[in-house]
Amino acid sequence: MEHIDLTSLDPERTVVVATGNLHKLKEISAMLGPRLPGMRFVALGQLGDFPEPDENGTTFRDNALIKAEAAVAETGLAAIADDSGLAVDALDGAPGVHSARYCGRHGDAAANNDLLLKNLADVPDDQRTARFVSVIALVSRSGLVTIGQGACEGAVGHVGRGDHGFGYDPLFLPADTPGRTMAELLPEEKNAISHRFHALQDLLGQLDGWTTA
């Protein structure tokens, strides 16, 4: 990951994306960039090795705010954070806020997917409904909070397919693209239907006159 000198950034023209995940950085900057022309989006991980906040919230909104507010405090820049995950109806909403660490280890996508398939092994197709949920928190340097929320409805498949995306994308079958997993969609196709897209659209509708201050 490219290192960026924090002191070289213009605080009025920079938004920190509170993630070390470059996939999320690209998705968020691709969608927000046209609406906030001239704004530079950088990943928190590019600015240094900051301690990760304790994501102890019980909802996606809680955790998105925790991450965004921590990034503002650490950098002095406006920050945006996404908390998202997969909610499976047959599992009472699990993995939910624990999506990234469903298997007990943070960020082990293969193990998370394996455990999900194991827990759904006896669940018939018509009961494998699920949705990706995203909540995005944008926090200005002064602490002004703007929240966007979105979801992408679909179902969990039986085998992973596709080389794009990350996380549970190879198993998730969006209702908007029958027969194709999220990981089989090109980035521009995913960005047009994803939970993050809908959350960003919700956020964008609230940004008239928004500044980083």
CATH number of the domain at 87, please. Answer: 3.90.950.10
Active-site entry in 83, 125, 176, 208: 83
Global pTM reads 0.88
Cα torsion angle, 171, 156, 109, 72, sign? positive
Residue 213 lies in a domain: no
Which class for 146: exposed (0-12), middle (13-18), buried (19 or more C-beta within 10 A)? middle
The range of the structural domain enclosing residue 46 comes to 6-204
pLDDT, tens digit, 9 for 90 and up, residues 36-57: 888 999 999 999 889 989 889 9
Asked if residue 160 belongs to a domain, the reply is: yes
Residue 209 domain-assigned (yes or no): no
In this structure, what token pair is assigned to residue 105?
Answer: 């280890």
Residue 22 placed within a domain: yes
The answer to whether residues 131 and 151 touch, using CB atoms and an 8 Å cutoff, is yes
82 given a catalytic annotation: no
Q: Domain tally for the chain?
A: 1
Q: Per the domain annotation, does 211 fall within a domain?
A: no
Domain membership flag for residue 27: yes
73 belongs to a structural domain: yes
Q: Which tens digit of pLDDT belongs to each residue from 101-147?
A: 999 998 899 999 999 999 999 999 999 999 999 999 999 999 999 99
* 166 lies in some domain: yes
